[in-house]
Amino acid sequence: MNILLLGSGGREHAFAWKIKQSPRCKKLFIAPGNAGTLQCGTNVPINPSDFPSIKDFVLKEKISMVVVGPEDPLVKGIHDYFLGNPEIASIPVIGPQKDGAQLEGSKDFSKKFMEKYHIPTARYQTFNKTTLKKGIKFLETLRPPFVLKADGLAAGKGVIIPHTIEEAKKELKEMLCGKFGSASSKVVIEEFLPGIELSVFVLSDGKSYKILPSAKDYKRIGDGDTGLNTGGMGAVSPVPFADKTFLKKVENQIIIPTIEGLKKEGIVYKGFIFIGLMAVPSHPSPSKNGAEKKKSKSGNFYTPYVIEYNCRMGDPETEVVIPRIKSDIVDVFCAMANQTLQKSIVKIDKRTATTVMLSSGGYPGDYKKGIPVYFLNKKGRKDLSELQNKEDESTIYFHAGTGLNKNFKKGNQTITTGGRVLAVTSFGENISEAAGQSYENIKKIKFNGMYFRKDIGKDLMKINKANGKRD
Ligand code: AMP
Ligand code: GLY
**Average pLDDT for 324-344:** 97
Q: Which residues, listed in sequence order, are joined to residue 67 by a DSSP beta bridge?
A: 5, 94
Q: How many angstroms separate the alpha carbon of residue 401 from the centre of ligand 1?
A: 25
pLDDT of residue 178: 87
Whether residue 363 lies inside any domain: the answer is yes
DSSP 301-349: GEEEEEEEEESS--TTTHHHHGGGB-S-HHHHHHHHHHT-GGG----B-
Q: What is the pLDDT of residue 466?
A: 76
Residue 272 maps to a domain: yes
Return the best residue to mutate from 277, 307, 459 for the ligand 1 pocket (most ligand atoms within 8 A of CB).
Answer: 307
pLDDT given for residue 283 in this prediction: 67
* C-alpha 314 – ligand 2 centre gap (Å): 4
Judge if 448 and 420 occupy the same domain: yes
Task: Give which of 404, 224, 396, 422 is closest to 315, Cα–Cα.
Answer: 422
Asked whether 217 lines ligand 1 (CB < 6 A), one says: no
- Output the pTM of the full model: 0.94
- Ligand 2 pocket member 240 (CB < 6 A): no
Whether 57 and 44 have beta carbons less than 8 Å apart is answered as yes
| 443 lies in the same domain as 422 | yes
> 157 with 270, same domain?
no
Task: Say whether pLDDT at 293 is over 50.
Answer: no
Predicted local distance difference test score (pLDDT) of residue 471 = 61
Q: Summarize pLDDT for 234-255 with one digit per residue, the tens.
A: 999 999 989 999 999 999 999 9
pLDDT of 386:
84
Is the same domain home to 281 and 361?
A: no
In the predicted model, what is the mean pLDDT of the chain? 93
Residues 72, 177: one domain?
no
Answer whether residue 2 shows pLDDT above 90. yes
| Residue 102 placed within a domain | no
**Among 9, 22, 11, which residue's Cα sits nearest to residue 65?**
22
Q: Provide CB contacts within 8 A for 347, sequence distance 6+.
A: 325, 326, 327
| CATH classification at residue 36 | 3.40.50.20
Residues 202 and 333 in one domain: yes
pLDDT digits 0-9 by tens, 297-331: 566 789 999 999 999 999 999 999 999 999 999 99
Ligand 2 centre distance from Cα of residue 217 (Å): 7
Pick the last residue of a domain from 30, 57, 83: 83
Residue 429 near residue 336 (C-beta atoms within 8 A): no
Predicted local distance difference test score (pLDDT) of residue 297: 56
Take atom 3 of ligand 2 and give the residue whose Cα is closest.
Answer: 314
Residue 201 host element (H or E)? strand 196-205
Q: Read off the pLDDT band of 379 (50, 70, 90).
A: confident
Mean pLDDT over residues 410-432, rounded? 95
What is the separation, in whole angstroms, between the first and last Cα of the chain? Answer: 42
Residue 80 CB neighbours (<10 A): 17
Query: Which ligand is the nearest neighbour of the Cα of 160?
Result: 1
Same domain, 24 and 74: yes
The C-alpha atoms of residue 225 and residue 241 are separated, in whole angstroms, by 19
Query: Which of 61, 83, 105 is at the close of a domain?
Result: 83
Residue 87 CB-density burial (10 A; 0-12 exposed, 13-18 middle, 19+ buried)? exposed
User: Given this model, what pLDDT does residue 284 score?
Assistant: 53
Q: Where are the beta strands (DSSP E) in 115-175?
A: 124-128, 147-150, 159-160
Q: What is the pLDDT of residues 49-75, one digit of tens each?
A: 999 999 999 999 999 999 999 999 999
pLDDT tens digits along 157-215: 889 999 999 999 999 999 999 898 889 899 999 999 999 999 999 999 999 999 999 99
pLDDT band at 295 (very low <50, low <70, confident <90, very high): very low
- pLDDT digit string, tens, across residues 92-147: 999 999 999 999 999 999 999 999 999 999 999 999 999 999 999 999 999 999 99
Decide whether any atom of ligand 2 lies within 6 Å of the 317 Cβ.
yes
Distance (angstroms) between ligand 2 centre and the Cα of 39 equals: 24
Using CA atoms, how far residue 262 sits from 75, 152, 204, 237, 253, in Å, is 16, 20, 10, 27, 15
Q: Is the pLDDT of residue 339 over 60?
A: yes
User: Same domain for 168 and 152?
Assistant: yes
pLDDT of residue 388: 66
Q: Which of 147, 172, 191 is the last residue of a domain?
A: 191
| Structural domain containing residue 204 | 196-285+297-343
Query: Which residue spans within 69-131 are E strands per DSSP?
Result: 93-94, 124-128
CA–CA gap between residue 121 and residue 115 (Å, rounded):
8
310 ligand 2 Cβ < 6 A: yes
How remote is the CA of residue 237 from the centroid of ligand 1, in Å? 20
Pair 360, 448 in one domain: yes
Residue 282: its pLDDT value, please? Answer: 83
Ligand 2 neighbour 217 (Cβ under 6 A): yes
From the CA of 316, give the closest atom in ligand 2.
Answer: 1
CATH code assigned at 167 = 3.30.1490.20
Which DSSP string corresponds to 270-308? Answer: EEEEEEEEEEEE--PPPP-SHHHHHHHTSGGGEEEEEEE
308 lines ligand 1 (CB under 6 A): yes
The 3-state DSSP class for residue 443 equals coil
Which residue, judged by its Cα, is nearest atom 4 of ligand 2?
A: 314
Number of domains in the chain: 4
Ligand 2 neighbourhood includes 314 CB (under 6 angstroms): yes
Band of residue 410 on the pLDDT scale cut at 50, 70, 90 = confident
Q: Is the pLDDT of residue 469 over 80?
A: no
- What's the gap in Å between 212 CA and the centre of ligand 1? 22
- The verdict on residue 111 lying in a domain is no
* Least confident span in 89-98, 100-109, 280-289, 423-432: 280-289
Identify whether residues 33 and 59 lie together within a single domain.
Answer: yes
The answer on pLDDT for 391 being more than 70 is no
Q: Is the pLDDT of residue 22 over 60?
A: yes
Beta bridge partners of 353: 237, 427
Q: Is residue 398 part of a domain?
A: yes
Q: Count the alpha carbons within 13 Å of 444 in the hemisphere toward its beta carbon.
A: 23
Atom of ligand 1 nearest to the CA of 107: 3
